[in-house]
Amino acid sequence: MKHKDAQEIVKEKLPEKRYKHSKRVAETAVEMAKIFEADVDKCYLAGILHDYSKYDELSEMYQCVTQYKLDPNLLSFKSEVLHGPVAAVKMREEFRIDDEEIYQAIMNHTSGRSHMTLIEKIIFTADYIEPKRTQPGVDYIRDIVFEEQNLDFAVYEITKSNILHLVSKDRSIYPRTLDCLNYYNMVKE
């Protein structure tokens, strides 16, 4: 898919604010692709498309999990986790984007997982640090990415912060997110 076509489908589907976020994630992912020597084109596409299903109906998302035999654990979670897997499947089934790395990057941007590919780690991190993000600790993560250039450590710190936040709100943790924490705790330097 051409970048322009990807931009168009996202612009049509999402509110302006989310479309702009998607563009910033794509641009941040491209910047990171240059540093970490990833495929720039795939990073742009995964970045612009990652939130395509952000506002889909929850019932439709659950239907998608069943229809495409996604991880059944997803049925215990809500849009926050589901919009990644659902967008990934839609890109493959409806828009014929037949690229495993883009698929996985969109799929796992909401949860992380163990053994992520370079492009998955870039999208997961770019989503967290795009320039308009202001959450506490975001500059610390930006330093890890752009100064230390330690992507595995950035993934670990983001996952840790997400889990701490969820636990503080008495929310459940999607198993892949725990796998992500354990794996990157082991491999980080």
Interface with Fe ion by CB under 5 A: which residues? 51, 127
Between 10 and 151, CB nearer to Fe ion: 10
d(C-alpha 173, C-alpha 175), whole Å = 6
What's at 172, amino acid-wise? S
Between 171 and 185, CB nearer to Fe ion: 171
Give least dist CB 47 to Fe ion, A.
9
Between 25 and 181, CB nearer to Fe ion: 25
Which three-class secondary structure state does DSSP give residue 21? helix
Helix orientation angle between 151-168 and 118-129, rounded to the nearest 10 degrees: 60
Give least dist CB 186 to Fe ion, A.
26
Give least dist CB 162 to Fe ion, A.
12
Between 137 and 187, CB nearer to Fe ion: 137
Residue reference for tokens 């970045």: 47
Give least dist CB 127 to Fe ion, A.
4
- In order, the DSSP letters of 56-119 are S-HHHHHHHHHHTT--GGGGGS-HHHHHHHHHHHHHHHTS----HHHHHHHHGGGT--SS--HH
Give least dist CB 59 to Fe ion, A.
19
Between 118 and 123, CB nearer to Fe ion: 123
Q: Which residues of 96-106 are buried (b: 16+ CB within 10 A; e: fewer)?
A: ebebebbbbbb
